[in-house]
Structure 1
Amino acid sequence: MTQIAIPYIFMRGGTSRGPYFRREDLPTDLGSLAKVLIAAVGSGHPLNIDGIGGGAAVTTKVAMLSASDDAWADIDYFFAQVSVEDQLVDFKPTCGNILSGVGPAAIEMGLITPSGNETEIRIRAVNTGAQVIAKVQTPGSALTYEGDTEIAGSPGSSAPVLLSFMGVVGSSTGAFLPTGNLRDTVDGIEVTCMDVAMPVIIARATDFGLSGYESAQELEDNRAFFDQMEAIRVKAGKLIGLGDVTKSVTPKFGLLAPAIDGGTIAARYFMPWKTHPTMAVTGAQCLAACALTPGSVADGMLTRPSACPVEVVLEHASGKIDVLIDYTFEDGFTLNSAGLVRTARKLADGHVYIPGQGQTGQEAPA
């Protein structure tokens, strides 16, 4: 069987993992591209045994990079969420954890030349149009992964990658509150439908008979909750203008509860058909914005700070994540930027091999 070799870098970005490709090495047509990514990841088997996926939604993610033709950006980052078993690829969302590796990967690929002890890289998230500034550690103009920054959900420590997100409000639906309401009721459950970095349907954990402090596995095992949540998510997807979302990973779903470990608020996040083992970077921004917004389902769960910018600490299933929110409340909630510290590490590089022409739609290289 003829196989196609595609150069790639295998990276951990935040608490996710996956291959990082040059966009030019992949098909331009999205249908053919989806077939290539399904083959590369090994979607269709719970262990992704015939590909390089890891059998979980956080390990079947793909980043595709190119030099940007945008006047503001240095790098275009195109993201794909590949399903573990269903052989589906969703190009609608973006991923902030995988984005943590975009700066280092761009340097590794030669798309960016490091300069000074810290290299600033302007990234355009192609899927949503968001603008992100990544600050990557490059002591002596050399990329390093060594450092003492730790993040919950990833073992050990690494060099910090500071991400500053801009232009993320309404990135998928065009509105901060895509239904026009601070709260809507769907199937008898009050929700806040919010679009900040990622459209998320947010509810109170107690309204589902949950504490909001359950482990990821406890939630994963609660299939009655998942059935109820998915029915609400699908109906809310139509309410916010995304149409039929039964096969789309957006919108996501989040649950809130009062903090119990010194944070600002407790949160659980869903991808949406699996419980996120930690917290998505994009989802964290939306949940933090919800926590700060009077009239949302977060009312009564926290004392909202008056200072700005403010650090919102989300307690999640594996620890905590800090989101620095710069916002104003002059004409409703306006998010100026959200900052997070993540880490990334190069795990491997070389070529990933996929079945030849006729099975992926991509021609073998000359």
Structure 2
Amino acid sequence: MRPASGIPCMLMRGGTSKGAYFLAADLPDDADERADLMLRVMGSPDPTQIDGLGGAHPLTSKVAIISPSTEPGIDIDYLFLQIAVDSRQVGTTQTCGNLLAGVGPFAVERGLVAPSASEAAVRIRLMNTGDTAIAVFPVQNGLPMYDGDASIDGVPGSAAAIEIEMTGGSRPLLPTGNVSDMVGGHRATLIDNGMPTALVAADELGIVGDESPADLESHSDLAAAVERIRVLAGALMGLGDVSGQTVPKVVLLSPPRLGGAIATRAFIPTRVHTSIGVLMAASVAAGVSIPGAVGESLAVHSDADAILIEHPSGTFPARVSVNTDDLGTWHARSMSLRTARKIFDGTVFPRPHP
């Protein structure tokens, strides 16, 4: 593989994110060399990412690396890289449930999975976290169908539905074993239903909870308070020093206003999400379903199949079930509907070394 000659790449929208998808075989095996290459592919560090594929926002500066799995019962291994926009950081401590929506279609496009006549069911191992997922989507003539009637808030138009069922790995749903903890003087529920997340009531930080992402990002004191909670939560969750990482996420909760179950504003970790990530939504939904957790008393509970998570662009229907085992430990399973679209398939030429 000679990067100067270009690298096979597919740019895809997955859920409410966009990223570059690669076969692992087309990239360096060495993690540091691979990270340097992906920074140059995406155009980082540069706040505009003008010299690469990145879109100058964390939601559009993502990479999915795909390979056939050697794990029994699994088809595909998926490694996610969060490429920082204006620094040389490449995050591997979290996964991305939005780009996950494109993993199955990409695997079929690249011939790694042979679908049935009308449907593909791709079993995926999320290498960053150890979780597993099954993505089910329609196919035609052996290739994914991208056109369809499914729509998700935060994405214009409609596309083919992709059903994703997530099952947890070996990590506990509540990493500290507590329904809530005091973190930096604020009550927080520390939860990991696919994404390490700290749930905090919005009014604890002096906001209403319906502010726009731009408004929230303009308050430096709020950003400092959120980052303090995030770093302290990371230590409590067993993640170590997370000051240079992208997890855990902090999600501020408030009463719903759009007919949903709970309103959210998610920090990722410094920018505010224009909607909400799939696995953040799954973590929020699981959290507000646990008696005594932060947000449980703010949420409007119903017998509906999905918990509607309100976010700046609309609502996200999170289908989550929680239960306790004989030892009183909480567990969760989640199902989500996403869409994805192939934007281009070709060769990307990384920025040369300075």
Shared fold per TM-score greater than 0.5: yes
Q: How does 1:145-184 map to 2 (within 5 A)?
A: 145-168=146-169, 174-184=171-181
Letter in 2 for 1:23: A
Q: How does 1:240-319 map to 2 (within 5 A)?
A: 240-305=237-302, 310-319=305-314
Measure how far apart 1:336 and its partner are. Answer: 4.4
Question: What is the rounded CA distance, in whole Å, between the counterparts of 1:103 and 1:31 in structure 2?
Answer: 27
Report the number of matched residues: 351
Equivalent position SS for 2:310 = strand
Equivalent position SS for 2:36 = helix
2:35 paired with 1:19? no
Instruction: Find 1:218's aligned residue among 205, 215, 219.
Output: 215
Measure how far apart 1:333 and its partner are. Answer: 6.0
2:319 paired with 1:324? yes
Instruction: Find 2:228's aligned residue among 225, 231, 237.
Output: 231
Q: How does 1:91-106 map to 2 (within 5 A)?
A: 91-106=92-107
Measure how far apart 1:348 and its partner are. Answer: 0.6
**Relative to 1, partners in 2 of residues 1:277 and 1:265: Cα closer, same or farther, differing over 3 Å?**
same
Residue in structure 2 matched with residue 86 of structure 1 by the alignment: 87
Residue in structure 2 matched with residue 363 of structure 1 by the alignment: none
- 8 Å CA contact 2:51–2:351 kept in 1: the answer is no
Measure how far apart 1:335 and its partner are. Answer: 3.5
| Cα deviation 1:5-52 (Å, max 9, x = unaligned) | 110111000010011000011111111111011000011111101111
Q: How does 1:10-159 map to 2 (within 5 A)?
A: 10-139=11-140, 141-159=142-160
Residue in structure 2 matched with residue 339 of structure 1 by the alignment: 335
Letter in 1 for 2:71: D
- 8 Å CA contact 2:195–2:279 kept in 1: the answer is yes
Question: What is the rounded CA distance, in whole Å, between the counterparts of 1:291 and 1:12 in structure 2?
Answer: 29
Measure how far apart 1:330 and its partner are. Answer: 4.9
Structure 1 alignment gaps of length 5 or more:
361-366
Alignment TM-score, normalising by the size of structure 1: 0.92
| Cα deviation 1:180-234 (Å, max 9, x = unaligned) | 2221112221111111101111100011111111111211212210111101111
Question: What is the rounded CA distance, in whole Å, between the counterparts of 1:299 and 1:148 in structure 2?
Answer: 33
Equivalent position SS for 2:316 = strand
| Cα deviation 1:337-360 (Å, max 9, x = unaligned) | 20000100000111111256xx49
Residue in structure 1 matched with residue 202 of structure 2 by the alignment: 205
Equivalent position SS for 2:306 = strand
Question: What is the rounded CA distance, in whole Å, between the counterparts of 1:226 and 1:354 in structure 2?
Answer: 33
Equivalent position SS for 2:175 = coil
Letter in 1 for 2:176: T
**Relative to 1, partners in 2 of residues 1:111 and 1:310: Cα closer, same or farther, differing over 3 Å?**
same
Q: Between the two proteins, what is the percent identity of the paired residues?
A: 39
Stretch deviating more after TM superposition (131-140 or 241-250): 131-140
- 8 Å CA contact 1:325–1:335 kept in 2: the answer is no
Letter in 1 for 2:309: L
Equivalent position SS for 1:33 = helix
**Relative to 1, partners in 2 of residues 1:347 and 1:303: Cα closer, same or farther, differing over 3 Å?**
closer
Stretch deviating more after TM superposition (125-134 or 296-305): 296-305
Structure 2 alignment gaps of length 5 or more:
none
- 8 Å CA contact 1:166–1:338 kept in 2: the answer is yes
The structure 1 segments of at least 4 consecutive aligned residues displaced by more than 3 Å after TM superposition are: 139-142, 329-336
Measure how far apart 1:326 and its partner are. Answer: 2.6
- 8 Å CA contact 1:293–1:333 kept in 2: the answer is no
Equivalent position SS for 1:284 = helix
- 8 Å CA contact 1:254–1:270 kept in 2: the answer is yes
- 8 Å CA contact 2:287–2:296 kept in 1: the answer is no
Question: What is the rounded CA distance, in whole Å, between the counterparts of 1:355 and 1:153 in structure 2?
Answer: 31
Alignment TM-score, normalising by the size of structure 2: 0.95
- 8 Å CA contact 2:98–2:278 kept in 1: the answer is yes
| Cα deviation 1:122-147 (Å, max 9, x = unaligned) | 01111111110000111454421100
Equivalent position SS for 1:132 = strand
Equivalent position SS for 2:20 = strand
Measure how far apart 1:304 and its partner are. Answer: 4.0
